[in-house]
């Protein structure tokens, strides 16, 4: 149960070093971006870097976004700044800048922020199901037989797609 905590401690130094090189003193802003910004905003942008001026107070957070989401995010920046500062515990970010180009760093060349939906598998043709059932018919254990039928359906379907032949 606690094995991941040990692995996490091994990676802390590397994560902190990479985060601090981009200005993120608190890596939680990167790792928990969806929790801090909210699911709707996190789906449209991601933090890239924080830059601090000569005074060191009130940094500038740079967010990467796509072109269409820019105007909508621009209107939500004051509320987002408050959420980010709540993560830090003080007024660490005085302004937020949106960029629509692919910067070098955590988000190299990634324009899509949400994963594509997974495709639902198609049901195998009835003749493939019959052939798979006949193949596994001699097995007496119900669980094993149904697993073998699914495997046979997958193999036969794949063979049909690649060769274009009927079983």
Structural domains for the chain? 3-99 (3.30.300), 126-163 (no CATH)
Q: Higher confidence at residue 56 or residue 38?
A: 38
At 105 the pLDDT is 46
Q: Is the pTM value of this prediction over 0.95?
A: no
Evaluate whether 62 touches 26 at the Cβ level (below 8 Å). no
Per residue in 101-127, pLDDT (tens digit) is 644 444 455 555 566 666 666 788 889
Question: What is the per-residue DSSP string for 14-58?
Answer: HHHHHHHHTT-SSTHHHHTHHHHH-HHHHTTEEEEEEE--SS-SS
Mean pLDDT in the chain?
A: 77
At 154 the pLDDT is 87
Conformational region of residue 153, where left means phi above 0, alpha means psi within -120 to 50, and beta covers everything else = alpha
Determine the average pLDDT of the residues in 65-85. Answer: 88
Residue 80's φ and ψ, nearest 5 degrees, are -65, -40
């Amino acid at each position: 149960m606690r094995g991941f905590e040990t692995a996490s401690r091994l990676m802390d130094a590397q994560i902190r070093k990479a985060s601090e090189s981009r200005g993120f003193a608190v890596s939680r802003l990167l790792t928990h971006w969806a929790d801090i910004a909210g699911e709707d905003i996190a789906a449209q942008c991601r933090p890239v870097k924080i830059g601090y001026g000569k005074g060191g107070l009130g940094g500038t957070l740079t967010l990467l976004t796509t072109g269409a989401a820019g105007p909508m995010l621009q209107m939500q920046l004051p509320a987002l700044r408050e959420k980010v500062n709540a993560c830090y515990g003080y007024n660490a970010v005085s302004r937020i800048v949106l960029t629509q180009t692919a910067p070098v760093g955590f988000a190299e060349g990634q324009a899509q922020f949400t994963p594509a939906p997974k495709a639902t598998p198609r049901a195998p043709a009835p003749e493939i199901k019959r052939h798979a059932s006949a193949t596994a018919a001699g097995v007496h254990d119900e669980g094993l037989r149904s697993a073998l039928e699914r495997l046979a359906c997958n193999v036969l379907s794949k063979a049909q797609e690649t060769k274009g032949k009927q079983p």
